[in-house]
Amino acid sequence: MTKIEFDEASRNELTADVDAFEVINNGKAAAIAGKVSHDTSIGVFGFSPKFQGVAGASNSGIGVVGSSDGQGTGVWGTSSNGIGIQGNSVTNVAISGTSQDNRGVTGFSKKDAGVFGNSVNWYGVYGFAHQDQPGGVLAEGGKHALVARNGTQSVGRFEGNVEVTGDIKLVNADCAEEFDIAEENVDAGTVMVLTNNGTLQASYQEYDKKAAGIVSGAGGYKPALVLDRPDEEKQEQRLPIALMGKVYCKVDARHASIEIGDLLTTSSTKGHAMKAEDPMMAFGAVIGKALGSIKSGLGMIPVLVSLQ
């Protein structure tokens, strides 16, 4: 390694048939300053076939700063097998890009993320815009402009109003609301009724006007929208109850077969619906309309929930 030590910024071209330069600056000027007179030349260029093209590190300031007054790029790095640009900072910004007329920082990749952000204690990627600007982060192009995924956890949080100019498409079936449940081990598809203290329990009598809905999530249907869902830690003894939409429901066809289009009400079989044959008794106790049929016995069919 060639070591170069001086007290002022270097303004000459440094070339040597060695692996690297180590530049030590004892003064307050820049360790290396690159300046060219040609409009399309590069002030400082770093290239590495297997490691960082340019690496910047700072203990208290900015690792790498790039600025452009015209249409050029503030900072540009390329690498065949490693990292194009890497900045490390203990207490401040690792990489900062500033541009008057174009992008401050641009990332491009053919096989992976164009720009990747990872943080231990804060946001992986943070975008900010002034109050009179349209937004802090803009995503556009592709099949989906923005894809958010986080396994079984929440993938998005909006602290404020949400404005949508197009359609909202929900791929699942019903609209549900969470309720406190008065008993344990209640299966999806169970018909639920209100108790005296406002909780829910499985139905157990015919034509019950306290019918509240059906536990969502049975069969191939899942709730598209869940209301009144508290924090994840507070979900003991709570279940989503389908209030409208399509849901699979437990039914009892031992006394009367159920055909598509039949109105359903509560039965004496715990948690099961049955065909509503008496219009007078069914008033106020209808759970929904059958979307499937069953000739006899106990089973589960899709139902269009419509409390009435």
Contacting residues for 226 by C-beta, under 8 A, at least 6 apart: 176, 177, 178, 216, 240
Answer whether residue 297 shows pLDDT above 80.
yes
Answer whether residue 287 shows pLDDT above 90.
yes
Q: Which domain holds residue 58?
A: 36-149
229 and 136 share one domain? no
125 and 213 share one domain? no
Residue-level pLDDT at 142? 75
Of 204, 219, 178, whose CA–CA distance to 269 is shortest?
204
140 and 182 share one domain? no
Q: Which has the higher per-residue pLDDT, 291 or 236?
A: 291
How far apart CA 268 and CA 183 sit, in angstroms, is 18
Answer whether residue 201 shows pLDDT above 80.
yes
223 and 260 share one domain? yes
Half-sphere exposure of 155 (CA within 13 A, CB side): 7
Q: For 12-21, 63-72, 241-250, which range has the lowest pLDDT when averaged over its residues?
A: 12-21
Residue 206 tokens read as: 């015919």
* Other beta carbons within 10 Å of 41: 10
- How many degrees, rounded to 5, is the angle at CA 74 between CA 69 and CA 75? 165
- The answer to whether position 155 is within a domain reads no
- The answer to whether position 166 is within a domain reads no
Answer whether residue 6 shows pLDDT above 70.
no
**Mean pLDDT to the nearest integer, 1-21:** 51
**Mean pLDDT to the nearest integer, 294-307:** 95
**Mean pLDDT to the nearest integer, 282-308:** 95
Residue-level pLDDT at 11? 47
Instruction: Give 161-200 as a DSSP string.
Output: ----SS-----S-EEEEEEEBSSS-PPTT-EEEE-TTS-E
- The answer to whether position 18 is within a domain reads no
Q: Please give the C-alpha separations between residue 196 and each of 200, 201, 206, in angstroms, as whole numbers.
A: 9, 10, 18
178 and 289 share one domain? yes
**Mean pLDDT to the nearest integer, 148-170:** 82
Residue-level pLDDT at 208? 96
Residue-level pLDDT at 139? 82
133 and 181 share one domain? no
State percent of the chain over pLDDT 90: 36
Domain count, the chain: 2
Residue-level pLDDT at 3? 55
Residue 297: CATH number of its domain:
2.40.300.10
- The answer to whether position 29 is within a domain reads no
**Mean pLDDT to the nearest integer, 272-298:** 95
Answer whether residue 26 shows pLDDT above 70.
no
Of 71, 294, 29, whose CA–CA distance to 273 is shortest?
294
Residues 248, 254 contacting (CB under 8 angstroms): no
143 and 183 share one domain? no
218 and 298 share one domain? yes
**Mean pLDDT to the nearest integer, 255-272:** 96
Residues 274, 267 contacting (CB under 8 angstroms): yes
Instruction: Read off the pLDDT of residues 75-124 as tens digits, 9 standing for 90 and up.
Output: 677 766 667 777 766 666 777 777 777 777 777 788 888 788 888 888 88
Pairing between β-strand 223-227 and β-strand 238-252 as defined by DSSP bridges = unpaired
Residue-level pLDDT at 296? 95
Q: For 81-85, 100-104, 259-263, 274-278, which range has the lowest pLDDT when averaged over its residues?
A: 81-85
Answer whether residue 27 shows pLDDT above 60.
no
Residue owning tokens 């197009």: 166
Q: For 51-60, 178-187, 292-301, which range has the lowest pLDDT when averaged over its residues?
A: 51-60
Residues 299, 264 contacting (CB under 8 angstroms): no
Residue-level pLDDT at 16? 47
Answer whether residue 18 shows pLDDT above 50.
no
